[in-house]
Structure 1
């Protein structure tokens, strides 16, 4: 492929308008061609804002010959349907997290993409921020000795009652929304041999229809424990801490730092505490750049996304009184 990757967007969700469409527009490796909505007026308003074409309905966008790849920012329960439709239309896909709410569906989409030489990528943006590469390097260099424990939290204030995150039919609930972040952080920093040791999902929201909060306990093959907290009715928290045999590492604003945020990684050891500062960076733009690179390579879905899907499913199934759809 020569020239920028030509991108179409299926839907006008808030995350698309606030973060992803500006990044597609700004990235030299992508060209924002069209945005689709079932609401023609909404498509026109969004397209006007970003200087691209407006399309009524998702199938019409997938039929366009001037689009190489699509971004899917729809509710979680719709990701599998429209990702499959896009792949069958010969389009590369960047889909919001979680890619699906069932491991079998995630595996099937990965296989479908691979069979067509198409890139499939889950939009987990924080893993592209350089601060986490610094943490991984410190761990590999033995800065805190052997890893003993990992604590991560991602919690946000309560959404309005009509928000889709309160709707179980659309894949709502804390596990599928905020739980993805600490689970993926554990995979990113501890490795993919994690196993579920325990799970708790707390019902809440209008009519107690979904899980509004949760806690997960994972373990590595070497015995390190990962304690994860997530929620949709909390004070904001976005952080993780890794404890080792000789020290600890702490990262605040770990998952959704703004582009102008200056990351500070605290490294505490017996000899004292130091603060490692990295430069500000735009993880949204980095993600879009990574997707363009994946499109050119026809890259398969990352193994971490497949393992993440399995862990999230097991956390849902093992939680007592979970408010998640039975499957």
Structure 2
């Protein structure tokens, strides 16, 4: 690929307008070429704001020759058909998480991307923040001894009643929206041998989807992961790795602002060391990772597929 990657956006979702399109526009490796909406006025407004071509309808954008890649921020239940259409049109795809609502569809789309020779990447941004690689190094160096367990929590306050994340038909629910983060953290640190031991999903009054949940996972050698999540809670975003000789704690773990000074807490006995890192923009880092995947003609797939399987297993265990 020579020159900047020309990307189009399928839909004017809040995350697209607030986070991803500004990051696309700021990247030296990307050109924001077009934005599509079923509402021409919304496309026009977004196009004016970001200096790109407005397109009426998603299909028209996929047929645009000047668009080499697409970003899909649609509701989760709409990911599979539109990601498939984009891949069949020969476009590279960055899709919001979860990539699909079931592991079979996820695997099928990953296989299709490989067949087409294009990159398909799920937009799980926190894994691209350098703080988590620093945590991995601390564990590998034996700073907390032998790893015994992980605990990860992510919860957000109640949403507006008409928010799509409360819609079963659109693929909503706490597991896919917020539970994915602690589950991916467990996968990130404990590896793909994780299995679901038990789970419980709960539904708030008047809701058609689960609004909270917890799960227990374990590796083959007995390291456990306790996950708690919800979307009608006081905000919490953290994880802890507990070893034979100490603990590592990370607060504001999953959605830190770009100007936040990241802190890693290293606790050994009665001593606590605060390891401070340089601020990092995980949205920009994700965009850079996508460009790298496009240039390679493929994106890493193993964690995306294993994550989909584990999310499905959590739901089945809770049934």
Correspondence for 2:51: 51
Aligned residues: 319
- Give the drift of 1:208: 2.7
Instruction: Return the alpha-carbon distance in structure 2 between the equivalents of residues 290 and 11 of structure 1.
Output: 22
Correspondence for 1:274: 273
- Give the drift of 1:272: 1.5
Correspondence for 2:63: 63
Correspondence for 1:299: 298
SS of match in other structure, 2:149: strand
SS of match in other structure, 2:93: strand
Correspondence for 2:204: 204
Correspondence for 1:83: 83
SS of match in other structure, 2:210: strand
Residue correspondence of structure 1 range 217-232 to structure 2 within 5 A: 217-232=216-231
1:244 aligned onto 2:243: yes
- Give the drift of 1:300: 3.6
- Give the drift of 1:271: 6.2
- Give the drift of 1:301: 4.2
Instruction: Return the alpha-carbon distance in structure 2 between the equivalents of residues 68 and 159 of structure 1.
Output: 35
Correspondence for 1:323: none
Instruction: Return the alpha-carbon distance in structure 1 between the equivalents of residues 27 and 145 of structure 2.
Output: 39
Alpha carbon RMSD of aligned pairs, Å? 0.8
1:182 aligned onto 2:153: no
* Moved segments of 4+, more than 6 Å: none
Range moving further from structure 2, 93-102 or 294-303: 294-303
Q: Which sections of structure 2, spanning at least 5 residues, go unmatched?
A: none
Residue correspondence of structure 1 range 141-152 to structure 2 within 5 A: 141-152=141-152
Instruction: Return the alpha-carbon distance in structure 2 between the equivalents of residues 6 and 177 of structure 1.
Output: 28
Correspondence for 1:324: none
Is this contact kept in 2: 1:113–1:300, CA < 8 A? no
Is this contact kept in 2: 1:110–1:300, CA < 8 A? no
Check 1:211–1:31 CA distance in 2 against 1; reply closer, same or farther (3 A cut): same
Is this contact kept in 2: 1:240–1:251, CA < 8 A? yes
Is this contact kept in 2: 1:114–1:300, CA < 8 A? no
Residue correspondence of structure 1 range 133-172 to structure 2 within 5 A: 133-172=133-172
- Give the drift of 1:270: 2.4
TM-score normalised by L of structure 1: 0.96
- Give the drift of 1:204: 2.0
1:119 aligned onto 2:122: no
